[in-house]
């Protein structure tokens, strides 16, 4: 309870700091949203009138406060660019980015954990050596590049999907998922490599410790020690990493949505930044912040389940 309260208060402070940072940063950036809206040919009088109407002439703290109050009342404002409520704009895009992120996360977990265990179990075997080398290579390839490679190989040569042929989930769910499959693999690739490397290292470390030796001496077989004792300890840092990875998927999707032409949250974020569409940018950044903090909170809970020695109420 105490922990939850503490966490909640720190969450709120963090959100305020993040939103203020973004607000202030946009205030010093060049670019007038009114001109952005009206075009370069607009008369100065019209620009002045529009600025007044948009409330851009008020001091920055006044504007921040106004935004802040509205935000916590659930009013995210109206997009300058699209003249529609920010909430509806973002809501229609969330399923796309979320599906992309979750698919990538699913790939990461499902592939990396078994592979990690296998490489540790057969340390220095052929499988282990091959995977270690492949891992190094994959980690060195940034997602945008693997994205281009995947588009070229699977889209152009094998024609598994049409490059740039995104289908909305409202039209065709299967086509939507099939299209997102490849970009999510591109996001997952480097994460898989890192998780495998990490899990392998941890497993090997832990299995050399005293408790593992004791477990062996009590007559347990390799698998028993590995799954019942060693794995639990080795997983803790991996879960931290996976938690961060999940949050990182959002950042990863910024690049991938561009490469694969997916109209998700990141595309809206990018275009809103260049259009100086503050209400949209603020709302999305707050959303990302909440996801990051939420994921970390979840990771803490999972810690406790796996390792009861960790007492988070401290």
Q: Is 281 near other proteins (CB under 8 A)?
A: yes
Q: 221 is written with which tokens? A: 């077989």
- DSSP state, 129? H
Hey, which residues between 204 and 223 contact other proteins (CB under 8 A)? none
User: Can you name the residues that pair with 78 across neighbouring β-strands?
Assistant: 85
Q: Is 314 near other proteins (CB under 8 A)?
A: yes
- DSSP state, 79? -
- DSSP state, 225? I
Region binding other proteins by CB under 8 A among candidate stretches 67-75, 80-88, 97-105, 208-216: 80-88
- DSSP state, 78? B
Binding pattern to other proteins, positions 294-313, x when CB under 8 A? --x---x---------x-x-
Query: How far apart are CB 135 and other proteins at their closest, in Å?
Result: 23
Q: Is 289 near other proteins (CB under 8 A)?
A: yes
Hey, which residues between 245 and 264 contact other proteins (CB under 8 A)? 247-248, 250-251, 254, 257-259, 261, 263-264
**Is 273:254 a contact under the CB 8 Å cutoff?**
no
CA nearest neighbour of 194 among 128, 113, 253, 252: 113
Q: Is 22 near other proteins (CB under 8 A)?
A: yes
Out of 77, 163, 183, 190, the only residue in the binding site for other proteins (CB under 8 A) is 163
Q: Is 44 near other proteins (CB under 8 A)?
A: yes
**Is 256:147 a contact under the CB 8 Å cutoff?**
yes
Query: How far apart are CB 266 and other proteins at their closest, in Å?
Result: 9
Query: How far apart are CB 195 and other proteins at their closest, in Å?
Result: 17
Query: How far apart are CB 100 and other proteins at their closest, in Å?
Result: 14
CA–CA distances in Å: residue 143 to residues 165, 186, 201, 257: 19, 6, 24, 11
CA–CA distances in Å: residue 298 to residues 64, 90, 196: 30, 24, 22
Query: How far apart are CB 276 and other proteins at their closest, in Å?
Result: 7
């Amino acid at each position: 309870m105490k922990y939850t309260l503490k966490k909640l208060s720190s969450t709120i402070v963090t959100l305020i700091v993040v939103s203020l940072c973004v607000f202030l940063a946009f205030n010093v950036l060049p670019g007038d949203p009114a001109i952005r809206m009206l075009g370069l040919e607009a008369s100065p009088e019209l620009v002045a009138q529009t600025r007044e109407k948009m409330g851009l002439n008020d001091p920055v703290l006044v504007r921040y406060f106004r935004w802040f109050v509205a935000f916590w009342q659930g009013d995210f404002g109206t997009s300058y660019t699209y003249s529609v409520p920010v909430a509806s704009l973002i809501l229609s895009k969330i399923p796309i980015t979320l599906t992309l992120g979750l698919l990538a996360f699913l790939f990461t977990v499902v592939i990396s954990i078994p592979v990690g265990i296998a490489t540790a179990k057969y340390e220095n075997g052929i499988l282990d050596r091959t995977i270690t080398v492949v891992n190094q290579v994959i980690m060195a390839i940034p997602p945008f590049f693997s994205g281009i490679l995947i588009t070229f190989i699977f889209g152009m040569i094998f024609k598994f999907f049409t490059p740039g042929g995104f289908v909305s989930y409202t039209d065709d769910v299967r086509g939507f998922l099939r299209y997102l499959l490849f970009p999510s693999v591109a996001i997952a690739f480097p994460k898989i490599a890192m998780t495998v490397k990490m899990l392998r290292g941890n497993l090997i470390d832990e299995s050399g410790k005293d408790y593992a030796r004791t477990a062996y001496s009590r007559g347990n077989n390799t698998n028993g020690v590995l799954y019942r004792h060693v794995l639990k300890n080795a997983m803790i840092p991996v879960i931290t990493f996976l938690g961060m990875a999940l949050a990182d998927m959002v950042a990863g999707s910024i690049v991938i949505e561009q490469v694969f032409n997916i109209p998700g949250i990141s595309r809206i974020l990018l275009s809103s930044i260049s259009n100086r569409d503050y209400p949209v940018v603020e709302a999305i950044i707050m959303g990302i912040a909440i996801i990051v903090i939420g994921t970390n909170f979840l990771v803490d809970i999972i810690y406790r389940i796996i390792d009861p020695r960790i007492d988070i109420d401290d």
